[in-house]
Amino acid sequence: MCDTRSVIENCITFYQALDHQSLSKLRELYHDDARLIDPFGQHQGLCAIQHYFDHLLSNVTRCWFDVDQPLCEGDRAALSWVMHWAHPKLQGGEPLALAGCSILFVREGRIAWQQDYYDAGSMVYEHIPLLGYAVRHIKQRVAS
């Protein structure tokens, strides 16, 4: 197994049970100066990434990922996934699902760069009563 594939497999294992993981394991996955980018912002450095995950997980009651077979080439990888999560203030705390994908670059045996792509509206905004109605309405108008 190539170095990149091994790193990605460890990443997948971590995310499959994200809400049951110690965030200290992020040090094994992410390079000290890694950059994580998603629709909500950019997080530069391991400390910033750990803080971001700590904040995210403190606000949910569940969070895990189903990840498809990774595509690896050289030091790059692509993952498609579905995040399952529950927040006590959204949908009555019932589990929600969000599809997305990630592009990752590996350096020195750890993730050095990751960009996550997903619909932030589907993740949060559509589940807030008045805002959700507006976002869904706009999506329907654009689609027709």
The pTM of this model reads 0.84
Whole domain around residue 39: which residue ranges? 3-118
Q: Which of 104, 110, 82 is nearest to 16 (CA)?
A: 82
Residue 48 lies in a domain: yes
Residue 122 confidence (pLDDT) above 90 = no
pLDDT digits (tens, 9 = 90+) for 102-113: 999 999 999 999
The verdict on residue 136 lying in a domain is no
Does residue 141 carry a pLDDT above 60?
yes
Q: Is 8 within the bounds of a domain?
A: yes
We report the CATH number of the domain holding residue 55 as 3.10.450.50
Instruction: Write out the H or E segment, with its range, that includes residue 139.
Output: helix 129-143
24 occurs within a structural domain: yes
| CA separation for the pair 96, 113 (Å, rounded) | 27
Q: Is residue 143 part of a domain?
A: no
Whether residue 127 is contained in a domain is answered as no
Tell which wins on pLDDT, 129 or 83. Answer: 83
pLDDT class of 14 with cuts at 50, 70, 90: very high
Residue 51 lies in a domain: yes
Domain count within the chain: 1
pLDDT computed for residue 68 by the predictor: 97
